[in-house]
Structure 1
Amino acid sequence: MAHIPLKAVTLTHVRYQKGDYFGYFLAWVSLVPVFISLCGFTCHLLFRRELQGLFFAIGLVISQFINELIKSTVKQARPITCELLESCDSHGWPSSHSQFMFFFSVYYTLLTQTKFGILSRNQMGMALFVVWPMAVLTLISRVYLGYHSVVQVFAGATLGALLGGGWFYIVNYKLRSYFPMIEESPIGSVLYFKDTSHIPHVLKFEYENARGARKHSSYKRSE
């Protein structure tokens, strides 16, 4: 088999065959977990301070820890195609990318479907037409680019889905009763942590309160 030159997506180590535009597209898709972690959750926690989002992020960290623990225990090698990518210095089962995306997708979907979530039902379209397609494409990308076998990505997806559903249950049926206490705690007060999942229409609530505050004399800037 002739050696095909490989290229890496700029600022990353995700490689694809030179001239393969579909591979180039999937290389970017495989970076979605990175974008979600660094951009999505970092911005959300920085600007929103939602406890639901905080525990969502904690769940993803726990999921990643479990993934690494399983990999180091099972020690299943990546497929032979990974050797050409020069990135086979870690184990492959289960796929962490697949696990991350299916954990995220399941938890996000449940947020759109239950009264506990910070998301409304009309955001189900985001889950159906963006989140889940990206999760499936991530699975395809890891196999197509040669980083994982089909078995490894399905193992990651299954484990991620189970952990996502299980963590959602723990957070919203066991831990959510402690959210008010966290809000009122010294740390919660200093960091402005809050829970708005009891508000039916958060965007409308914040919009109306922002307009009301602008009209209130105590919020007006002194002339």
Structure 2
Amino acid sequence: MTETIILRAVALTHVRYRKGDDLGHALAWASLLPVFIGLGGFVTHFIFRRELQAFCFGLGLIVSEVINQVIKELVQEVRPATCEALEMCDSHGWPSSHSQYMCFFAVYATLLSVRRLQFADELRKVFTALLPWPFALTVMYSRVYLGYHTTSQVIAGGCLGLILGSLWYFFINVIVAPWFPALENTFLCRYLRIKDSSHIPDVIGFEYKNSRAAQTDLDSQNEGKISKD
């Protein structure tokens, strides 16, 4: 007698849409934004930038996801009827983790841009503060359009993300951030070059000018060696 093997897909990247639906196809890709932000964004950013603020931001998103899973297990609200075609009926739908993630990300990024980071001009600050919200709303809409969640599940996830993101921002930047200088002086942070640059006005411009100055000095040294030769 042949044993039936039941297979499951990894829900993190397993997004389905109706064949021939171009909007659904685009929204399926948009639905993967939390994966792109978490893996492509935060991991890459921390490897190359090594900022304490980014580390705390990413840690908050992980905490938010854990809270989301705990609430789902407690509430156990089923997904919409379309879950069968999507192979998602064995997981709970309230609150939407994608919506919670994106709203947490958006509100933290906005508060960070408006209250802590320093920009070269006001236009850049406003642009950076508003940038996450169209993406957050697109992901929320995609979860309903593709049939993964009901509207109420998406709204619940979004509201929870806004609350947790705001609370986490003030926890990090009011309670934890004053300790950043002490953390920067620890052996681990000095060894791994972990820092906090949020106090530097226009940090991108600051790094660019210093990089150009270093390159100019190097060119001058090379020209001096060539002249001596």
- The answer to whether TM tops 0.5 is yes
Note closer, same or farther for the CA distance 1:163–1:216 as it changes in structure 2 (3 Å cut).
same
Shift in CA distance, 119/191, structure 1 to aligned 2, threshold 3 Å? farther
Specify whether residues 170 and 177 from structure 1 end up closer, same or farther in structure 2 by C-alpha distance, changes over 3 A only.
same
Correspondence list, 1:200-219, <5 A: 200-216=201-217
The residue aligned with 2:117 is 117
| Deviation by residue 1:24-54 (Cα, 9 ceiling, x = unmatched) | 1110110011100111111110100011111
Residues 174-204 of structure 1 deviation map (CA, whole Å, 9 limit, x = unaligned) = 1001111111111101111101111111012
C-alpha spacing 1:62/1:211, structure 2 compared with 1 (3 Å): same
Structure 1 position 47 matched with structure 2 position 48: yes
- AA partner of residue 155 (structure 2): F
Asked if the contact 2:31–2:142 (Cα under 8 Å) also holds between the matched residues in 1, the reply is: yes
**Mapped contact 1:16–1:27 kept (Cα < 8 A):** yes
1:73 aligned partner, one-letter code: L
CA displacement at 1:118 relative to structure 2: 6.3
CA deviations on 1:149-185 (whole Å, 9 max, x unpaired) are 1110000000000111111101111100111111111
Q: What is the CA RMSD across the aligned residues, in angstroms?
A: 2.1
TM-fit CA distance, 1:86: 1.3
Larger radius of gyration: 2
Shift of 1:80: 1.1
Q: Does structure 2 conserve the Cα–Cα contact (< 8 Å) formed by 1:63 and 1:163?
A: yes
- The match for 2:87 is 86
Instruction: Give the deviation of 1:127 after TM superposition.
Output: 3.9
Structure 1 residues 220 and 97 mapped into 2: Cα distance closer, same or farther (>3 Å)?
farther
Deviation at 1:88, TM superposition (A): 2.0
Cross-structure match for 1:72? 73
Tell me, yes or no, if structure 1 residue 24 matches structure 2 residue 25: yes
Q: Distance in 2 between matches of 1:220 and 1:15?
A: 58
In the aligned structure 1, how far is the partner of 2:20 from the partner of 2:108?
A: 37
* Distance (Å, rounded) in 2 between the aligned partners of 1:12 and 1:96: 13
**d(CA) in 1 for partners of 2:217, 2:125:** 32
Tell me which amino acid in the other structure corresponds to 1:201.
D
What corresponds to 2:194 in structure 1? 193
Q: Does the C-alpha gap of structure 1 residues 119 and 109 become closer, same or farther in structure 2, counting only changes over 3 Å?
A: farther
Equivalent pair of 2:46/2:54 in contact (CA under 8 Å): yes
Aligned mates of 2:62, 2:196 — CA distance in 1: 21
Unaligned runs of 5+ residues in structure 2 are 1-8
Q: Residues 220 and 63 from structure 1, CA distance in 2 versus in 1: closer, same or farther, beyond 3 angstroms? A: farther
Between the aligned residues of both structures, percent identity stands at 50
Cα distance in 2 for partners of 1:37, 1:211 equals 31
Distance change in 2, residues 1:58/1:76 (3 Å): same
Distance 1:107 1:205 in 2: 24
Matched AA of 2:75: V
* Contact 2:31/2:98 (8 A) holds in 1: yes
Task: Return 5+ residue gaps in structure 1 as ranges.
Answer: 1-7
Residues 1:154 and 1:113: Cα distance change in structure 2 (over 3 Å): same
